Amino acid sequence: MGAVIETDRLTKTYGKDRGIKNVDLTVNEGEVFGFLGPNGAGKTTTVRTLLGFMKPTDGRAEVFGLDIEKDSVAIRALIGNLPGEFTLEDRMTGDQLLKFFARLRGVKDLDYAYEIAERIDADMGRPMRRLSRGNKQKIGLVQAMFHKPPLLILDEPTGGLDPLVQEEFLKIIGEVKDEGRTVFFSSHTLNEVERICDRVGIIREGRLSAVENTDDLINKSFRHVSLTFAEELESEEANRFQNLEGVEGFDRDGVELTFDLHGNLDDMIKLAARHELVDMMYERPSLEEIFLAYYSDEGSNVRKPSSRSTESVSKNSKQRTTETHAQSHSYHPERKVLHNGNGTKTVRTDAGVALQKAIEEVVDQAVERSVEKTFQRMIAGRTVAKGERL
């Protein structure tokens, strides 16, 4: 199988510590490739750069052997794209939008489109302004998939969908794979990646940390365990749990034991069965926790997260949310004195730096919208006259 997506040191920067850096990635024909990372890691920037909506700062990339800068229009004609954030014409219904996109792409048969719409329960008869975020997401999925493109690029496709619709969507992706088509989708949800992806690329802070088979990634994943017994265990018996192979972050609080388990689940279950167990929690860590445990810059020096009960998870989450909120709203001006060539001085604060970054981002978004509209008109057979307002 040939490479559908191939990047070589692909870099996009727009501001300090922003964007992606030296991304080397290969996605093969017929595979479902998961692009994983926490929010802000660079997933969307990578997708937008591959689609030609952003010009790379350095490096290069090809999609179907076509250069992402020289052949961006031809590339977009071969793919189905669901952006992480998108807007649709408020006054149009899903059905009207579908027919509009079908005319742009020259698609006559819409049976597959309506099949997808029915399976994910998309409301095609109401105007966009009356739809919830989840229902708009369904319309977005239909427009990305209706023409059966050889490559699907989906940015956080299950965001806003209820569990039943997510389940049906994953079945559809499995069918796409069976047809030999390729899927590249970004996510921060490990569960859906585990189910359908052949390989995963892990991006963190703009850098590609690893590309692994899905099974290899899952094997690296530990579990949070909480055991609640009818009576408090004797110290000697509690120590048996602490001494199990692969147990870390052990904590004892009355009748409850909590820890992280990296080892054999069977040994832990057999030991727990020797006592009256009234409750057990066995949960997968978040993707960010796996990153911290296995893909941190400090490597083996990283301390793996300790186990938490459901109650402590909730308390810690609330505490972190409060702290983050407080930090994000606290302002510590940092004065920067620039010595100009004419002997004068200019004083700038970090607020000015932040404003400059915000302006750069707005300009990038405006360019993206302009490219998309130009693409639509080119597909429709129109050329954009010089000076014409897009």
What pLDDT, in 10s, does the model give residues 133-142? Answer: 999 999 999 9
Q: Judge contact between 55 and 69, C-beta under 8 A.
A: yes
Please count the CA atoms within 13 angstroms of the CA of 2 that sit on its side-chain side: 6
The whole-number pLDDT of residue 364 equals 57
Kind and range of the H or E element at 10?
Answer: strand 3-12
Q: How confident is the model at residue 263 (pLDDT cuts 50, 70, 90)?
A: confident
First-last CA distance in the chain: 40
Does 372 score more than 60 pLDDT?
no
CATH of domain 3-219: 3.40.50.300
Higher pLDDT pick, 170 / 378: 170
The whole-number pLDDT of residue 355 equals 55
CATH for 223-326 (1.10.3210, 1.20.1440, 3.30.70, 3.30.300): 3.30.70
Task: Indicate the residue type of 23.
Answer: V
The whole-number pLDDT of residue 284 equals 76
Kind and range of the H or E element at 348?
Answer: strand 345-348
Domain boundaries, the chain: 3-219, 223-326, 336-376
Report, as an integer, the average pLDDT of 340-354.
48
Average pLDDT of the residues of the chain:
79
Task: Kindly give the interhelix angle for 94-105 and 133-145, rounded to the nearest 10 degrees.
Answer: 20
Q: Residue 179 in 3-state DSSP?
A: coil
The whole-number pLDDT of residue 327 equals 36
Q: How confident is the model at residue 316 (pLDDT cuts 50, 70, 90)?
A: very low
The whole-number pLDDT of residue 304 equals 41
In degrees, rounded to 5, the angle at the alpha carbon of residue 374 between the alpha carbons of residues 368 and 375 is 90
The whole-number pLDDT of residue 222 equals 82
Name 346's bridge partners: 338
Reference 371, options 49, 94, 117; nearest CA is 49
Predicted TM-score (pTM) of the model is 0.66
What are the tens digits of pLDDT across the range 10-66?
999 987 767 899 999 999 999 999 998 877 889 989 999 999 999 999 999 999 999
Does 336 score more than 60 pLDDT?
no
Report, as an integer, the average pLDDT of 342-364.
52
The whole-number pLDDT of residue 315 equals 39
Report, as an integer, the average pLDDT of 250-257.
94
What's the burial of 91, exposed, middle or buried (CB within 10 Å: 0-12/13-18/19+)? exposed
Does 328 score more than 50 pLDDT?
no
Q: Which residue has the tokens 């005319």?
A: 103
Reference 144, options 155, 133, 152; nearest CA is 152
Task: Indicate the residue type of 253.
Answer: D
Higher pLDDT pick, 318 / 237: 237
What are the tens digits of pLDDT across the range 196-251?
899 999 888 899 988 988 877 766 678 899 999 999 999 999 999 999 998 999 99
- What stretches of 43-149 adopt beta strand conformation (E)? 58-63, 66-67, 79-82
What separation in angstroms does the CA of 110 have from each of 82, 198, 200, 307, 335? 18, 30, 32, 50, 59
What are the tens digits of pLDDT across the range 80-121?
999 988 888 889 999 999 999 999 999 999 999 999 999 999
Does 350 score more than 70 pLDDT?
no
pLDDT > 90: what percent of the chain? Answer: 55
Q: Rounded to whole angstroms, how far apart are CA atoms 204 and 186?
A: 13
Reference 170, options 141, 199, 149, 136; nearest CA is 141
Does 317 score more than 70 pLDDT?
no
